[in-house]
């Protein structure tokens, strides 16, 4: 890139060379100045920006057009299918209708700030959801900055709504027993027991195949998950390396799984040709792999039938963690069982349980010492 200054009547013209377009045609930008000194200052400023790599050729690309490019050329090649689907959903339903027509290089922090206010005031979305939108916009603009389409990431200058503290729902040990009784003999007996005994996620339960289960060695491997994207069910690898794990099966769970496998064989005989061969552990009576949403609906039906408090299927994981930590199982063991990539996340969610466990431990220690001193 370069530039020149030329006299035009009573004024001066600054011509900035901005390279060539896709057709090989030169791209130039012109400025007018009253004096030669002013023209030289303009040219010097642009040369300085070029040296700093801050120069961005003005473009008519809208924010919506840029986001489409980002999805196709970055997200599609670097992110999981579920992550891309999440971005696409946010962009299509919310971002594009509000911010899409604004030219990328004219998008400001004020535009984004007003968008977040609109989401909460008009759409009624929570601060947590707004923060998810911000994460998508910020990552996209980071890419724009790296590709020198913008000189800064304006999303960094936005004030975010205060983060909501998440409160996980838990069942007591007695409620868990009631839950297991409620699902006994039903289509969701195996899924619920897998979640209760091992703390599996819903997608991990639905994605478990018999080939990953060894009932003789009493272990299973969490290797796949099944999840819904829009109206489609996809099978994919676990999200993190920690999520890919091998878990021990208790005698009780082995007994439940053996009985479940036997029922599947009986159902296969009963349905004949209409039986669906899938190798999935958790299926409907006809062998069809259980749909994640169906599992959640059946789970809610079981809660109502047994008059248990409403919790999500995912909250079984929270219950498992809570009960284990309350019974002084080390947090590292619990975190590894749950397949969490960061022990800190487990600590943050279940900190209050650990505080109770610390109290119980201290009381237990006092009882031990009291017994010892009494015997002296």
Bridge partners of residue 214, in order along the sequence: 219
Task: Specify if 119 maps to a domain.
Answer: yes
Residues 193 and 283 in one domain: yes
Q: Which two tokens stand for residue 6?
A: 């030329």
Residues 17 and 128 in one domain: no
The whole-number pLDDT of residue 51 equals: 58
The whole-number pLDDT of residue 174 equals: 93
Residues 299 and 189 in one domain: yes
Residues 24 and 72 in one domain: no
The whole-number pLDDT of residue 216 equals: 95
Distance separating alpha carbons of residues 370 and 361, to the nearest angstrom: 14
The whole-number pLDDT of residue 321 equals: 86
Q: Which two tokens stand for residue 17?
A: 């060379």
Bridge partners of residue 130, in order along the sequence: none
Residues 71 and 194 in one domain: no
The whole-number pLDDT of residue 366 equals: 62
Tell me the C-alpha to C-alpha distance, in Å, between residue 58 and each of 29, 53, 159, 161, 277: 9, 14, 27, 32, 58
Domain CATH for 280: 1.10.443.10
Residues 205 and 291 in one domain: yes
The whole-number pLDDT of residue 336 equals: 86
Domain range for residue 222?
Answer: 173-308
Distance separating alpha carbons of residues 150 and 158, to the nearest angstrom: 17
Write out the chain's pLDDT in tens, 376 residues: 568 888 888 899 888 876 665 466 777 778 888 898 988 888 888 776 665 555 556 567 899 999 999 999 999 999 888 889 999 999 999 999 999 999 998 999 999 999 999 999 999 999 999 999 999 999 999 999 988 888 899 999 999 998 776 667 889 999 999 999 999 999 999 999 999 999 999 999 999 999 999 999 999 999 999 988 877 888 888 877 888 899 999 999 999 999 999 999 999 999 999 999 999 999 999 999 999 999 999 999 999 989 999 999 999 998 988 888 888 788 788 888 888 766 665 666 666 665 665 566 566 556 666 665 555 5
Dump strand ranges (E) for the chain: 2-8, 11-20, 26-33, 213-214, 219-222, 225-229, 232-236, 245-248
Instruction: Mark 306-316 as b/e (b = at least 16 C-beta within 10 Å).
Output: eeeeebebebb
Task: Specify if 366 maps to a domain.
Answer: no
The whole-number pLDDT of residue 42 equals: 83
Residues 135 and 179 in one domain: no
Task: Specify if 326 maps to a domain.
Answer: no
The whole-number pLDDT of residue 164 equals: 72
The whole-number pLDDT of residue 1 equals: 54
Bridge partners of residue 29, in order along the sequence: 16
Residues 206 and 288 in one domain: yes
Domain CATH for 77: 1.10.150.130
pTM of the predicted structure, to 2 decimals? 0.68
The whole-number pLDDT of residue 357 equals: 59
Q: Count structural domains, the chain.
A: 3
Which residues 6+ apart lie within 8 Å of 181 measured at CB?
Answer: 306
Nearest C-alpha neighbor of 200 from the set 318, 352, 333, 343: 318
């Amino acid at each position: 890139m370069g530039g020149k200054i030329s006299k035009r009547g009573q004024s001066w013209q600054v011509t900035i060379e901005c390279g060539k377009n896709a057709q090989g045609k030169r791209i130039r930008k012109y400025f007018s100045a009253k004096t030669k000194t002013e023209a030289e200052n303009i040219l010097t400023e642009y040369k300085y920006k070029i040296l700093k790599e801050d120069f961005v050729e003005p473009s008519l690309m809208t924010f919506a057009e840029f986001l489409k490019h980002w999805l196709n050329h970055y997200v599609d090649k670097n992110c999981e299918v579920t992550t891309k689907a999440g971005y696409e959903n946010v962009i299509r339903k919310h971002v594009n209708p509000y911010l899409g027509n604004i030219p990328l290089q004219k998008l400001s922090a004020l535009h984004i700030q007003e968008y977040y206010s609109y989401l909460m005031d008009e759409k009624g979305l929570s601060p947590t959801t707004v923060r998810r939108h911000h994460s998508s916009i910020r990552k996209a603009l980071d890419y724009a900055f790296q590709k020198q389409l913008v000189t800064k990431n304006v999303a960094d200058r936005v004030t975010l709504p205060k983060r909501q503290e998440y409160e996980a729902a838990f069942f007591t040990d007695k409620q868990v027993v009631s839950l297991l009784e409620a699902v006994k003999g039903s289509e969701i007996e195996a899924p619920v027991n897998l979640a209760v005994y091992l703390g599996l996620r819903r997608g991990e339960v639905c994605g478990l195949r018999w080939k990953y289960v060894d009932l003789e060695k009493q272990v299973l491997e969490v290797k796949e998950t099944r999840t819904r994207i829009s109206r489609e069910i996809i099978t994919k690898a676990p999200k993190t390396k920690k999520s890919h794990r091998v878990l021990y099966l208790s005698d009780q769970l082995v007994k439940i799984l053996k009985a479940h496998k036997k029922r599947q064989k009986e159902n296969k005989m009963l349905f004949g040709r209409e039986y669906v061969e899938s190798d999935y552990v958790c299926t409907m009576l006809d062998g069809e792999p259980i749909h994640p949403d169906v599992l959640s609906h059946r789970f809610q039906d079981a809660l109502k039938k047994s008059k248990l408090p409403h919790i999500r299927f995912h909250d079984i994981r929270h219950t498992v963690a809570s009960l284990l930590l309350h019974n002084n199982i080390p947090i590292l063991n619990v975190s590894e069982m749950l397949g969490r990539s960061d022990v800190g996340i487990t600590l943050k969610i279940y900190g209050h349980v650990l505080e109770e466990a610390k109290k119980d431990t201290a009381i237990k220690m006092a009882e031990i010492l009291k017994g010892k001193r009494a015997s002296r």
